[in-house]
Structure 1
Amino acid sequence: MKRQALIGTIAGLAFATGPATAEIMAEQVAFTEYGEIEQSLSGTPGDPAAGREVMASRALGNCVACHMVSDMSDIPFHGEVGPMLDGAGDRWTEAQLRGIVANAKMTFEGTIMPSYYKKSGYIRPGNAFTGKAATPEQLETLLTAQQVEDVVAYLMTLTE
């Protein structure tokens, strides 16, 4: 009897918490009128430490190439093209930051910031260094859904 009660309790907890949210593919991202993304792209909370690594990595986000971040003073050669990100967690909401990181052009039409979570809508994406256009199947996002969530989690820690 205790075993059945335990199984019932576990089943009830599983039902109450619901199924894990699946990753939202780049083609299915829903932006609000002002470019926010309300829902997590990965269904998993972001890791601020991993987000800091993505922002610093030249092979991934390379955010410091354009943005100054005082918390990242250990990383050399900060850029001055984009706005300083100190206080980003106070200036923007999580949904706004998610939208900006995923595709800043949905918020700031003329921005030169790369779209980190986008696979379509390019004018003529290249196929490596072949001089030929890439097919839609060959295109990948610059960051994964989880990496976007990690960067957003890190940016949310940058408060005044």
Structure 2
Amino acid sequence: MACLALTGLLRAATPGAGEEARSYAVTGDTIMEPLAGGKGDPARGAALISDRQRSLCTLCHSGPFPDAHLHGTLAPDLTGVGARLSEGQIRLRVVDMKRLAPNTIMPAYYRIADEEGRRVATVWRGKPILTGADIEDIVAYLTTLKG
């Protein structure tokens, strides 16, 4: 049921501003290199995580974010994630958690929506959910969550 609700919400969100997903290298459980050519902005990442219409993070995750009464309980609490995981580990989890846990309900935010032959709306074809810059902003913010 949660997966169906998440799928519906993803369809309502806007794809990654028309950006085509660039290739990236996975090493173990990390993506070491930034997707957008540099470090993200933690303030923009914090705002994006709290945006339930765009990133959807707080639908499933809780953490040190505004509106705690709206946080989800389907996924791990993100408090202290920056102390538990490296920047590269966080990046891979946001880009495509399915590489690590194939049955996760977490969407792959930087994978092409229709690359696996799934039927998707025209607006989503060939586009990721979030841009590389969006992901770098989220990574920059999550790495600050040390405790």
TM category, shorter: 0.7 to 0.9
Counterpart check, 1:66 vs 2:53? no
Q: Specify the code of the residue in structure 2 equivalent to 1:95.
A: G
Q: Is the 8 A contact 1:27 1:118 kept in 2?
A: no
Q: Per-residue CA shift, 1:124-154, capped at 9, x if unaligned?
A: 13225xxxxx8xx933111000000000011
Give the counterpart of 2:41 among 24, 37, 47: 47
Tell me how far apart the structure 2 counterparts of residues 139 and 58 of structure 1 sit (CA, whole Å): 23
Q: Determine whether 1:113 maps to 2:106.
A: yes
Query: Which residue of 1 is the match for residue 21 of structure 2?
Result: 26
In the other structure, the counterpart of 1:150 is 137
The match for 2:85 is 92
Which residue is equivalent to 2:127?
140
Larger Rg: 1 or 2? 1
> 1:109 Cα deviation (Å)?
2.3
Q: TM-score, normalised by structure 1?
A: 0.72
CA RMSD of aligned residues (A): 1.9
- Name which structure has the greater RCO, CA cutoff 8 Å, separation 6+: 2
Give identity over the alignment, percent.
35
Structure 1 residue ranges, 4+ long, deviating more than 3 angstroms after superposition: 73-76
Stretches of structure 2 that go unaligned for 5 or more consecutive residues are: 1-19
Q: Give the number of equivalent residue pairs.
A: 127
Unaligned runs of 5+ in 1: 1-24, 129-133
TM-score (norm 2): 0.78
Question: What amino acid is aligned across from residue 32 of structure 1 in structure 2?
Answer: T
